[in-house]
Structure 1
Amino acid sequence: MVVRPNLDAMPVEVKPAIDAYLSANNALGKDNAVVRISEVKSGAAQAWLRDLRGNQKETGLVVLSVSDTHMLKTVRQYLIKTQGIKADEISMVFSDAEYLRNNVPDANVAKQMNLEALNNGSARFLILDTRVGGRGLDLNFKGNSKSLDPKAFRGYTNFEMLLVEPHKMSQVHLLQSEGRIDLGRIHPAAGRDFSLVLDIKAVQGERIFTEMVKSDPFFEQLRSDPAFQKYAAEHKLAKLDWLSYHEFVRENPQYASKYHQTIKGSLEKIQSEVEINQLRSSSVETDAPMSPGRFPGVERMR
């Protein structure tokens, strides 16, 4: 929950425990700060905070960063039709917003993006087109934190960012998108989780990922590992694809660190190609496009 140490009428008997918590989280003296009630070392302070929290709304926000505006619309429809999320609970930042604002006033871009829902806390999801989501519009994640109304929305306390299909993003855009919820834009001590979301079954045929599974030292060593050989035999894996290795690592977390490093390296390679192709599309680079597809030789002939 969000606490305003300088404005909330904090009882004398609970102040030391809350101040100690804020100090430990580098939030003492801030106008607003997020407090995890269960981590405050005082029963009386926890009780007071729970009573105060009763006036506040749910404060978690899921941020979905997607590769382009077409995917943004697809994800929005999925949330509404499949997950039962209300349209007014979804805020968006999509491309062409500036063009529409200036040239097609009837489009009412601000209403389409539903950014006002972030101000009052009614938004549960924020979908970003990664190419434009990390810059431009200044989004409000702190609510009306200066209001004296105890029921006023005081901002989001937890953020979960899911970067969907990161292999279709440049690394620059991905980092900019993550920066949308950097520490300077949210309340002190607010929680943040970042995850890359990749459909392995769908992308394992991409050239760079195919080469990774075939030639990377991690996968070569894994194929000769007795533990993996036993796993493959027990599961009758006639064809060893990326998904097979992934399931093995899920069941054997001691391999996870090196596995994730390997994926990260290949992902950075494909993101570099995405970035170069984006530069070419804007005439910054003019030679033939680099394709992350399955048949790069054929595609270079176009």
Structure 2
Amino acid sequence: MSRINILDDSTINKIAAGEVIEKPASIVKELVENSIDASSSYITIEIENGGKDLIKIVDNGRGIPHDDVNKAFMRHATSKIERVEDLNTLNSLGFRGEALASIAAVSKVKMITKTADELTATEMIINGGNIVSKNPTSGNTGTQLIVSSLFYNTPARRKFLKSNQAETMAITDLINKLAIGNPSIRFKYINNKKTIFETTGDGSAINAISVIQGRDIVDNLIEISYKSPFFSVSGYIANNNVYRSNRNFEYIYINGRYIKSSNLMNIINESYKAIIPINKYPVYFLNFE
């Protein structure tokens, strides 16, 4: 029989990366949610070749203190919770502290980060989970993360990525949902050096929807608002002039987090049955608090 072995940290992180990082969109989700949690008001997302060659996230959030930069890339290192009881009152999008460690284990990462009270920024370069350098540099308050050469050290996993177009579509769909769900944040999305959209960040959900989904949808939306002792719901539902052949325009958020709920979707779709054609799906953007 084989002996029981204790895996080294590098192997552990590569295995864990498979749980957190399925595709380029997974990286974008983790990093942008970190930017949102850092109270950013402006987030730029730039990708190249479906995120396989480049994912660059730049925010103007709180930044990471120089002394904490190393910790940020350790597994289960997080600023979101301190003890298990904190899970009961969690309001952040992420909290496990696995994203940066997992991303760094299977790619080449450069981070430049600075807090408001620091005179200089910190630049950290990590390749395949190994720290290459950490140096002071110039930079604005906030964090810039550049992820390149995804899965370069795990080629079997890179082989199973979809085409550049398919990976780009997954990222675009994700960014659309994040931008509409966070209208107070100005999002700029760049694909292969071309700006796809930039929202206003003025807090208006209808303006964000207009930039991303277009006037033809906005012109057919009805604003709703309802409060009960247990929850509130606000947002927009389409009239019977607008519908789709799939569920891609059914946006549901709970406390700002995009979710998929078959229960809620089925209830809403049932209500639309009498006013839109059969086998078509409604368009709506709803936020539950």
In the superposition, the TM-score normalised over structure 2's length comes to 0.26
Q: Which has the higher strand share?
A: 2
In the superposition, the TM-score normalised over structure 1's length comes to 0.25
